[in-house]
Structure 1
């Protein structure tokens, strides 16, 4: 029997999803498990409020209480600590981005066999403040470098891609997904956060052993 397929939900505006990317690649490579990467667009204002800052970090607009600010500040301290450890650049964002278009780009890249290159470039450049993930032309350019012609990306994003993203989002929430990165086994077993990767690896190893006995 082949190993199970894990579903992994990500959002490009989540630094925690970025930190899970390379460990998830290693999990695929070292265990043989297939991972189906799908977008899940976080509604950050619903639980962390909103804020907009300038290049110097000064708050221009905000709708957060003191608890939410403490949580946001700790989150960035936490992700930068881990990013420094693994050699990634994560710069604090200046606003809450709408990452829906980038998620649609992920679906488009998968259709055209260009997922890995697209995924890597979007994550890396976004967190270096080098990519506007709300700009269709910028994402089409990424898709071209990833190996697609991206000629119909704009029409896909406005029609079929938007509908597919909603369907993916609805299916994720039906499974209980509420954040990213979220790993879901075929039986619906859900693990939220990259810290569960060692547990997932153990489960896969145990299942592989059971197939061989």
Structure 2
């Protein structure tokens, strides 16, 4: 006798409930319905590269959560540190947005202004506060904090707090002491953090970055599924299709 314990409740068609082959037909229907409902779908692993100074990476958090819920996907978050001055120049502004110093041409300013208009457009839908930072931060220390939080099982509270506070201009993600405070608030044991943040942590972040670039990663958010790379949230419909198979 074949047990169907744990399988979704079968849907039987009336015409299939009679006849000598009704049981085998019904079992076929169970399998068909199970596939439709995703019961036989193997969970997928998604490697997701992120940078705490990227507003687009911040927007990707909710999208990744949705993938995890809908498809039981295992999201592997990894730090990837953007070199923003290399392609968007650099600038410092005061609290009112007045430019204090800049190494950025007109084209780069247009791109930056559009990017923040764009992320606020989507962030407002999710109730997120996204304020442009007053300068370009080196997020390596915050990335090392991500690895520390993951190792201690407190990744999610750390992840959420860092993104939220950075884009409210309440957190210096380059300051080891500030990142340590968030780790402690998230429940991590910060004994040895100062030494880790000075050496081993940044080195681990750099190793991950080199591995990512070997795979072809160049920006965030980048999703990797079965070796296939998807850069940006605009690929989410295709990612949904892949996970639904």
Give the TM interval when normalised to the shorter protein: over 0.9
Q: Which residue of 2 aligns with 1:86?
A: 126
Q: Secondary structure of 1:20's match? A: helix
Match of 2:180 among 101, 118, 140: 140
TM-score with structure 2 setting the length? 0.81
RMSD: 1.1
What are structure 2's unaligned runs of at least 5 residues?
Answer: 1-40
Q: Which residue of 2 aligns with 1:15?
A: 55
Residue 6, structure 1, aligned to residue 68, structure 2: no
Q: Secondary structure of 1:79's match? A: helix
Residue 2 (structure 1) shift: 4.0
Residue 135 (structure 1) shift: 1.3
Q: Which residue of 2 aligns with 1:123?
A: 163
In 1: Cα distance, 2:177 partner to 2:104 partner: 32
In 2: Cα distance, 1:76 partner to 1:140 partner: 28
Q: Secondary structure of 1:159's match? A: helix
Q: Secondary structure of 1:184's match? A: strand
What are structure 1's unaligned runs of at least 5 residues?
Answer: 207-213
Superposed counterparts of 1:141-156, under 5 Å: 141-156=181-196
Q: Which residue of 2 aligns with 1:200?
A: 239
Match of 1:164 among 194, 204, 208: 204
Question: 1:64-119 deviations in whole A, cap 9, x for unaligned?
Answer: 11110111111111111111121100011110011110000001100010100100
Higher relative contact order (CA 8 A, sep 6+): 1
In the alignment of these two chains, the number of paired residues is 205
Runs of 4+ in 1 over 3 A off after TM superposition: none
In 1: Cα distance, 2:142 partner to 2:200 partner: 14
Bigger-Rg structure (1/2): 2
